[in-house]
Amino acid sequence: MKAGYSKMFYFMVGLILAVVAFTYLPVIFGISSTVKVVNLNVYSEKLREMLKQYPKKTIEIDKESDKGITFRIHNNNSHVQTVNVEKNPTKGGSSDNTKNTRSKTPKPTVKKEKDFDEEKKVLPTDKPVTPAPTPKKNNVLPDCSDKGSKLVGPLFIDQSIPKDMEAVEKDLSVDFGGTVEKGGKWAPTTCKPKHKVAIIIPYRKRVVQLKSFLKHMHPFLQKQLLDYRIFIIEQLYKDPFNRAGLFNIGFVEALKLDKEFDCFVFTDVDLLPEDDRNFYNCPTSPRHMSVAIDKFHYQLPYATIFGGCGSFLRDDFEKINGFSNLFFGWGGEDDDLYKRVRSYDMEITRPSKQIGRYTMLKDGHHQSSKADPNIISLLQTSEQRMVVDGLNSLKYDVKSVIEAPLVTVVRVELSRSMYNLDV
């Protein structure tokens, strides 16, 4: 009886192993029955040309009928774009009919590198800038943009972790003889800055990075002679992190504290700019600033990326109704923002790869949220949603607003249930 039992046992184990191997081996070796090999020869020349613009991306057939074909183009792991194309047309004319407006041959709305020379002209780093002429009336200050002489270009990034927040405060806060005022504010006294800038950071349990960020950014922003204030918007409790929603909240709360803000920089807390000619004051709007991040080998991961760090004039941000509020979890919210901007025909500009360089802090990283499972469907409705999902539908509860020595901390509750998204 005992022997019979163990035979049965081995048989079951074997069976289970076989099932597991059968299910997972194809996945391990990258063979999946759902991915078909694309035979492009059946399709028109025009289509083949069109698909060439997605060189490094995985192109996969989604649906195929005698009329045409739907491709899925994987931009990211989770970002899938669908493109509909008619099969070889018998008549000439528009063969590659892309039903999906998204996937019409995308016109590049991102200005490439063009502004590099402009920036160079404005800020020659080799020669000292001649001081702006002092105006006759003594009470009128000169424009700060004429006073960039302290800028040096590439910076040293100190990645050592400050001992504690107090150590950073001791270096920078007015309480200890520094320059930064309570709430994380500063403004130049010798010239008049063009904008009043709110730096908005979405935040949750990243104190190690926050210390490095504040230590690096205050001197950086002051060298640029900006009138600025740094805000962290902290999402309390357990819901998945909603980066975009927190940016919207930062925009609204900053304006509640000071109506004069007219330029907003939206940045992650782990991004430290490596070149002080990368201006944090809306020289153009909208602007994508984190062009070349060390983590991505100082290359732009894809042409339409708008993640990391970017800036908007107040009016432009209001025009596109801010970010979507519905992206709970990692990724996609910046792609959605890009579509908003593009649907208004706004032109995004970027600094050059030399100036838009960033170090991404490695310490203190933790996997805070998984990818939002709704990304794909959300990204298919970006344009339709933008008028009803954003600043005009923002919901949250402020739990506290604290003016810390180096930063204003807004702590909020922001949860999926506020938007009737099932948990």
Ligand X SMILES: *[C@@H]1O[C@H](CO)[C@@H](O)[C@H](O)[C@H]1NC(C)=O
Using CB under 6 A as the criterion, which residues of the chain lie in contact with ligand X when the complex forms? 76, 78-79, 301, 305, 307, 331-332, 334-335, 375
Cβ 202 to ligand X, closest distance in Å?
13
Cβ 382 to ligand X, closest distance in Å?
11
If the CB atoms of residues 59 and 187 are measured against ligand X, the closer one turns out to be 59
Of 383, 307, 303, residue with least CA distance to 342: 383
If the CB atoms of residues 210 and 375 are measured against ligand X, the closer one turns out to be 375
Cβ 383 to ligand X, closest distance in Å?
16
Give me Rg for the CA atoms of the chain.
26
What single string gives the DSSP state of each residue in 88-127? Answer: --SSSS--S---SGGGSSPPP-EEPSTHHHHHHHH--SSS
Pairing status of strand 348-349 against strand 110-111: parallel
Cβ 102 to ligand X, closest distance in Å?
13
Cβ atoms 323, 336 nearer than 8 A = yes
How many angstroms from the chain centroid is the CA of residue 326?
15
SS3 329: coil
How many angstroms from the chain centroid is the CA of residue 197?
18
SS3 158: coil
If the CB atoms of residues 169 and 335 are measured against ligand X, the closer one turns out to be 335
If the CB atoms of residues 79 and 87 are measured against ligand X, the closer one turns out to be 79
Pairing status of strand 357-360 against strand 292-293: parallel
If the CB atoms of residues 46 and 79 are measured against ligand X, the closer one turns out to be 79
Q: Does residue 286 have a cis bond before it (omega within 30 degrees)?
A: yes
Cβ 78 to ligand X, closest distance in Å?
4
If the CB atoms of residues 178 and 390 are measured against ligand X, the closer one turns out to be 390
Cβ 75 to ligand X, closest distance in Å?
7
